[in-house]
Amino acid sequence: MAAVGYNRRQFLIRTGALGAAATVALNPSIGRAAGVLDPLIDEIAGPALKLLARDTIAGLVAFEVPGNDRYSRAQRVTDARPGGIDARGDELLLIDLDEFLPIPDTYVRALAAGFSTAVSEIPVPLDLLGPLGGLGERLALHMDDALRAFTRSDAAVPLSLLIALILNFLATQVKPSSVLGAIPGSPFASLDFDDKARALEALESADANLVAALDNGAPEPLEGSLSGLLKFVGGALQEFGAYLSYVEWGVYDPATKSVSKRPVGWDLTRYMPGRTTPADGWDELIGYFEGRSSTATDPAVLGARPRKSVH
């Protein structure tokens, strides 16, 4: 195993990978909870990448619909009412991204490869490594291996991981010290609310550095698609972060097509107070405007009569 170079180490830090690994290394229970097999890669790197994706996506959902959870507190915009995290919007967004969003694997893998190669080569000063800088070479190697394994093998790269790496990279551009923030698994989730908005702005405007980084690894005919994809993802993450925070999924049982209690989104919007089932109807009929319940072709348009007939 070669040593991990300075730039590569920066990459691991800036995308949150090393922070997440450190968190897992210090809390072995996270690794055990993930049900791991291979002692080295699996005990630390696998759970670390999961944590990285989860914390970053949760940081996004808390931004869209803040509540009183630790991600909302980390961004310093909270709300006493429940938020997207309470509604399990983060879990749903992760599932949608990874299990169902049918962006072809080859595409995601190409992007991930390009991204991880290129970001590590962008020489941005990072003098705030702090304790992360002193982390064992062995840990850095593990994370490096794990990420490279994803991008080289035929294994699917979870889209949530790619998005998390990108958001974290942008977060460290906005604020380098976010690598040491309140949520060690994610620089993005460690930003305050205004800085999250700046990172999202960079994503939506298809930040030139980022496009260049991604372009590096994309197969030829796809190159032009990258900035478009970023703009799409930049918008979609925000729309769906909000949307999925207001749906019933967190309390829904597909087998019985019913909810175990009122969805958070229903309470937040005073939707159908007291009900747990969608309504079959409402006493909302007022009547017909001016009492008119039918109309007909305007004779004028057929050219037969003057433009407005007198009734």
Q: Which residues between 115 and 134 bind other proteins (CB under 8 A)?
A: none
Residues 149-208 that bind other proteins (CB under 8 A): 193-194, 197-198, 200-201, 204-205
Q: What are the DSSP calls for 130-179, one per residue?
A: HHHHTS-HHHHHHHHHHHHHHHHSSSPPPHHHHHHHHHHHHHHHH-GGGG
Of residues 118 and 200, the one with the C-beta less far from other proteins = 200
In the complex with other proteins, the residue whose CB is nearer, 140 or 174, is 174
DSSP 169: H
Angle at 1 between CA 144 and CA 125, to 5 degrees: 45
DSSP string, 189-213: HHS-HHHHHHHHHHHHTT-HHHHHH
285 is an interface residue for other proteins by CB under 8 A: yes
Question: Which one of 39, 254, 306, 310 is in contact with other proteins (CB under 8 A)?
Answer: 254
Q: Which residue has the tokens 């002692």?
A: 39
CB of residue 137 to other proteins, shortest distance in Å: 38
**Min CB(52)–other proteins separation in Å:** 22
Counting contacts by CB under 8 A, is residue 255 touching other proteins?
no
Task: Pick between residue 102 and residue 123 the one whose CB is nearest to other proteins.
Answer: 102
| Distance from C-alpha of 48 to C-alpha of 52, rounded to nearest angstrom | 6
CA 86 – CA 68 distance, rounded (Å): 9
How far is the C-alpha of 249 from the C-alpha of 229, rounded, in Å? 27
Task: Quote the least distance from Cβ 142 to other proteins, whole Å.
Answer: 31
- Binding status of residue 243 toward other proteins by CB under 8 A: yes
Judged by CB under 8 A, the chain residues 212 through 231 that form the site for other proteins are 221-222, 224-225, 227-229, 231
Q: Which stretch binds other proteins (CB under 8 A): 111-119, 161-169, 172-180, 233-241?
A: 233-241
Interface residue with other proteins among 5, 131, 232, 261 (CB under 8 A) is 232
Report, in Å, the least distance between residue 176 CB and other proteins: 20
Of the candidates 54, 84, 89, the residue with the CA atom closest to the CA atom of residue 68: 84
Indicate whether 209 belongs to the interface with other proteins (CB under 8 A): no
Eight-state DSSP code of residue 99: I
Residues whose CB is less than 8 angstroms from the CB of residue 225 and which lie 6 or more positions away in sequence, other chains included: 218
| Polymer length of the chain | 311
Distance between CA 93 and CA 61 in Å, rounded? Answer: 8
Question: Which member of 34, 148, 238, 262 binds other proteins (CB under 8 A)?
Answer: 238
Write down the least CB distance from residue 199 to other proteins, Å: 10
Residue 306 engages other proteins in binding (rule: CB under 8 A):
no
